[in-house]
A = this chain, B = another copy of it.
Amino acid sequence: MFSKSCEYGLRAVIFIAEQSTLQTKVGLKTIASAINSPEAFTAKILQILTRNNIVTSIKGPYGGFMIEEYRLKEITLSEIVQILDGDKIYTGCGLGLKQCDDKSPCPLHFKFIEIRNNLKKMLEENTLHDILFTDTEKNVFWLKT
């Protein structure tokens, strides 16, 4: 569904968000080890997310990554996916045709866009805050993998 970059990115952001609610800034090593991702590659992804104002980075000793409290209710999963994977997933044809619209639908079009739009809706409707506080178990259990 998502690229590896996007998967790591989402995991990293959720982890940083989690720690930010605890007023804790986290460094690259901590993040990579927590979400089980390659360190240098994760660094690249965090650079992109920093440039796009999803996370805030602080250089130097005692530096690290964090997300401002007020941003947690603004940032949606959709934005993160959009930044890392582009919007092919939101607008692209299921069969890979260049055009995808109701005027020139491929044989899968109407069935496919229903799924695609549900995905889009789900990602747009969920902010980081939602993800953190709708987690049924309310823990960091998922980090174990």
Contacts and interface: CB of A to CB of B under 8 A. Distances in A.
Interface of A: 1-2, 4, 7-8, 10-11, 14, 77, 89, 92, 94-99, 104-112, 114-116, 118-119, 122, 126, 131-132, 135-137, 141-142, 144-145
A94 B95 CA distance: 21
Nearest to A88: B1
A79 to B, nearest CB: 15
A142 B15 CA distance: 43
A92 B126 CA distance: 20
Given A7-B94, A112-B122, 18 more contacts: A1-B89, A1-B92, A1-B116, A10-B94, A11-B96, A14-B95, A14-B107, A77-B108, A95-B142, A97-B145, A98-B145, A99-B145, A104-B141, A104-B142, A107-B132, A111-B122, A114-B122, A115-B122
